[in-house]
Amino acid sequence: MNFQFETIIIGAGPAGLFTALNSKISDKTLILEKNQSAGKKLLMSGAGRCNLTQFGNIRDFFSHYGDNHRFLIPALNEFTNYDLMNFFNNHGLKTINIKSKIFPETENSEDVLDILLHECMKKKVKINYDESVKSIELINDGFAISANNYDYISKNLVIATGGKSYPTSGSNGDGYQFAKATGHTVIKPKPALTPVYISNYKFKEISGISLGERKITVMRDNLKIKIHQGDIGFTHWGLSGPGILDLSRFIEANDVLKINLINQNPEIFREMLNETAITDGKRTIKRFLKNFTIPENLIKLLLDQMNLETSVAISSISKIIRNRLVEIFCEYPFHVQRTGDFNIAMVTAGGISLKEVNPKTMESKLVKNLYFVGEVLDIDGDTGGFNLQAAFSTAFLAAKNLS
Ligand SMILES: Cc1cc2nc3c(=O)[nH]c(=O)nc-3n(C[C@H](O)[C@H](O)[C@H](O)COP(=O)(O)OP(=O)(O)OC[C@H]3O[C@@H](n4cnc5c(N)ncnc54)[C@H](O)[C@@H]3O)c2cc1C
């Protein structure tokens, strides 16, 4: 037996739920969710605190979605960060601003999910849990959807299955197969917002230390691929922190990350070294390096790596070693072994090709009444609430256009 609906949405994550509750035909809408409950990944977000979005002008968001940000502009303009904050405020959940990151006042993602589910219930959206979609097929005037329990038919189909990261949350890339079955191109998915493993890593003993706003240059085959400024953190096996996570979408195995560990222009640093050797030659290298914002144990570790005593006087350091100091402190080369896999990546780069989706409606350009929302699209945002904002904004736009 086939169950018939006006709209079927695959996936009860933030994008699927928000599409359903904003649709004019929400009472004729069914969400199919493979898990026994909705929003498993949403509950994990922001370590359970749910960083919903960012504070500030929506125009400042555009540069936070990698190379594909242009596609998102209509969606972000149509449903902005303020619209998102107002939505939750109007439903009794105030938001708070912590260093420009917006969280629910309760700092509990369950409260966000509760409102989404409550609104779906009020608007008579039906949700079938434990119903994993296995295949979809184009039929006359709609779609035939086959799931593990039942078969369905719908006029509109919204694919809100998320990406491939944290597959235990339910989003394991099924949506890409559904898109391919309807003739869509899938840009190869890649883990993003993920830490980086470093070959021959020599910083294990200072794991836990972080450095604020450092310049990171991604080098590939001796060419500069990307330059980014952000916080970095040393882990047991490599690098993390927002600066590294945001760059990870561009990083590949065997790249070299050159990091300016003291936030000082290399040429100025070289001049300072040379000048100090002349004017204050007895000054120890340790005292000299104290002029810069870098923790003492990191200074010691770096000098150890160079076999240089902390007590050595600047004037007795040869030109070759001074050049090496410039390299180590201003352009330390971290050789990338690999980036973290989908099990630890917070989002997925790649996904449904944006060339085949209308950015003003989220409707497929290839198949009428087929929509894509949220992370399944070839869009990934920086850390700080940009991904949830994209999920809500794309969902809002699709909902507005569902008829
Ligand atoms: C640990 C972690 C922390 C994060 N923190 C933040 C944060 O603080 N701020 C932020 O902006 N972003 C954060 N993100 C990213 C953000 O959670 C996602 O970008 C967002 O959830 C994407 O929403 P979505 O609805 O598109 O997909 P998902 O939330 O992935 O939802 C997709 C749903 O589809 C269902 N589904 C998949 N395939 C099928 C199928 N075949 N049949 C039926 N159902 C299916 C899944 O079970 C899932 O419920 C975080 C991610 C992780 C992993």
Encode pLDDT of 35-78 as tens digits.
999 999 999 999 999 999 999 999 999 999 999 999 999 999 99
Rounded-to-integer distance, Cα 11 and Cα 175, Å: 9
Look up residue 254 and give its two tokens.
Answer: 């065997």
Residues 326 and 353 both lie in one domain: no
- pLDDT, the chain, mean: 97
Contact yes or no for 339/240 (Cβ under 8 A)? no
To which residue do tokens 């119903």 refer? 131
Distance 90 CA to ligand 1 centre (A): 24
> Which pLDDT band, with edges at 50, 70 and 90, does 110 fall under?
very high
**Domain limit, last residue, from 292, 317, 340:** 340
> Which pLDDT band, with edges at 50, 70 and 90, does 283 fall under?
very high
Residues 223 and 111 both lie in one domain: no
Rounded-to-integer distance, Cα 206 and Cα 226, Å: 26
Residue 377 beta carbon below 6 angstroms from any ligand 1 atom = no
Contact yes or no for 286/310 (Cβ under 8 A)? yes
> Nearest Cα to 160, choosing from 176, 147, 149, 175?
175
Residues 44 and 177 both lie in one domain: yes
Beta bridge partners of 256: 219, 335
Residues 178 and 282 both lie in one domain: no
Rounded-to-integer distance, Cα 146 and Cα 206, Å: 52
Residues 380 and 272 both lie in one domain: no
Residues 264 and 307 both lie in one domain: yes
In this structure, the strands spanning 2-10 and 151-159 are parallel
Distance 303 CA to ligand 1 centre (A): 44
Residues 177 and 315 both lie in one domain: no
**CATH number of the domain bearing residue 187:** 3.50.50.60
**Mean pLDDT of the region 305-321:** 95
Look up residue 239 and give its two tokens.
Answer: 């690098």
Residues 294 and 372 both lie in one domain: no
**Domain limit, last residue, from 340, 362, 393:** 340
For the CA of 35, the closest atom of ligand 1 is 47
Residues 128 and 246 both lie in one domain: no
Distance 144 CA to ligand 1 centre (A): 24
pTM exceeding 0.75: yes
> Which pLDDT band, with edges at 50, 70 and 90, does 403 fall under?
confident
* Structural domains counted in the chain: 2
Residues 218-256 have pLDDT tens digits of 999 999 999 999 999 999 999 999 999 999 999 999 999
Distance 124 CA to ligand 1 centre (A): 23
Residues 372 and 282 both lie in one domain: no
Rounded-to-integer distance, Cα 133 and Cα 151, Å: 9
For the CA of 16, the closest atom of ligand 1 is 25
Residues 148 and 215 both lie in one domain: no
**Mean pLDDT of the region 120-145:** 97
**Domain limit, last residue, from 320, 340, 360:** 340
For residue 180, give its domain range: 2-191+347-401
Rounded-to-integer distance, Cα 83 and Cα 392, Å: 10
Residues 186 and 200 both lie in one domain: no
User: What pLDDT shows up at residue 2?
Assistant: 79
Residue 264 beta carbon below 6 angstroms from any ligand 1 atom = no
